[in-house]
Chain A
């Protein structure tokens, strides 16, 4: 089972943490059993080690990417030219591809994942919900290469022959749905990511819904709420911050997914408004190009892509945490 632990970095010292530290000091001064001290020490050490590991990874990446960092500076982030032969490295197409494919995935996976979780926790009888829940979580256990293969042979052709023509016909006035249809595309990547992310979102949401106090459900029913009204009154408002957390967790997955995306996105470092066009992402580019990177500056540029990926994930996590904090502070006074 997944635990709703949304990333292990960016933990600001909260008021409760400070209170805890203070209490620990008071206990220390009073003299506490040795077991307590050992336990405190152990948990503190594991937390510290985890934290330093994250810092260490960032530092090592930064050092390895140093040549690219000093040579391209901010131009790396805004440049659109990625030309290893002429040692031109601009990462914008990768950042763009990562952002768009992930957002596309969430656009589909979030409502779907929440819906699945609602169905499992509020609608289906226990036995059915256990079986379905198991099946959905099984989706998370499928290796990404297998998803990639499926994307190449099933999903890609299906999108190209069935979905894309329909989109082009009815929504073709939007630049999003114009252009040639080749089977490898941003749309494919978004779709495959959506399938991969749904089980994460639904698993976390299921836990979140299970934490809704039953007496709120009863209160809603007793007022004459239908099942859906009960969900709207009691379940969803109470779970809001948890749902946001689940979506962010899914976003984290989508951002970092590599192989499956590399297999279906087409790997072309261009920025195109059309979702039917091939694209590329930070993660898939690193995996694709690392073996061909011959010059030092090329390697450094690829590592810098990794650094950007980490920082983007970090940024998203911090934003999400702030958002959750704000939401909960506003809506649950006391």
Chain B
């Protein structure tokens, strides 16, 4: 069943159109990879799914994005509510520099206005850090600033931060691009684990990664969705010539 459905969705930066009439069904409890050469609109695509695109100046979206059948661009829909349901992890980890590790994880809980006591808070912090495969490394330093961690740890901290609020969908925009192979492996494992409870969309430049973690793959080129399908099929037997050229490294 499609958790997210893009219907003739176009995205603009001022006058320039970054995405053109995308139709795409993203299935629930699966990992969908978005691949394509640099500048083809991968980041823009995922940012349209949690209404982050419009936070850029002069940026706007046309067409519909349905989340559980409801248009998130419909009249009266509060983008803040959408972003609480659709979590996001960015390419560059951005923990809040003045907050401790545990406060970074818990920050979204306060936003949601949940009245939690200390015990419940600590429990959620621990669970989220465990899920993000970071707990063992930081459990004795929860009061330290989030920025005192390494880049890979910071990225996992940001994943924990996104998971703490229990989103339904997790968007990951090149989450491993700044990480070493070990941290990357951690995060890939994590993605595979998380997909039983979340719908995940992951942008990646790494074909192997897409093949390893995703169930479905979308290939974008110049703002157009060229091909979408089962990951295995896309990588072994693509229908379109452009897809084949890209995954065999002939361009991009």
Contact = CB atoms under 8 A, between A and B. Distances in A.
B98 A222 contact: no
A140 interface: no
A331 B98 contact: yes
Given A333-B145, A334-B145, A224 B165 contact: yes
Contact of B107 (A223, A226, A334): A223
B145 A213 contact: no
Interface stretch (B18-26, B85-93, B199-207, B236-244): B85-93
A232 B148 CA distance: 22
Interface string B66-101: 000000000000001101100110101011111100
B158 interface: yes
Interface stretch (B50-58, B210-218, B223-231): B50-58
Interface string A227-238: 001000110011
Interface in B81-140: 81, 83-84, 87-88, 90, 92, 94-99, 107-108, 111-112
Given A218-B94, A237-B96, A224 B81 contact: yes
Contacts of A219: 90, 94-96, 158
Interface in B155-187: 158, 161-162, 165
Contacts of B153: none
B147 interface: yes
Interface in A204-260: 213, 215-226, 229, 233-234, 237-238, 240
Given A218-B52, A223-B165, A233 B96 contact: yes
Contacts of A126: 57
Contacts of B99: 237
A173 interface: no
A85 to B, nearest CB: 58
Contact of A223 (B108, B144, B145, B148): B108
Contact of A237 (B80, B98, B112, B162): B98
A332 interface: yes
A224 to B, nearest CB: 4
A215 B92 contact: yes
B108 A224 contact: yes
A233 B107 contact: yes
A224 B96 contact: no
B165 A332 contact: no
A221 B52 contact: yes
Contact of B88 (A213, A216, A222): A222
A331 B108 CA distance: 20
A224 B84 contact: yes
Interface in A106-159: 126
A225 B80 contact: yes
B78 to A, nearest CB: 9
A215 B90 contact: yes
A4 to B, nearest CB: 19
B148 A218 contact: no
A221 B158 CA distance: 13
A332 B98 contact: yes
A278 B83 CA distance: 56
Closest 6 CB pairs of A and B: A224-B84, A237-B98, A222-B88, A215-B94, A224-B83, A219-B94
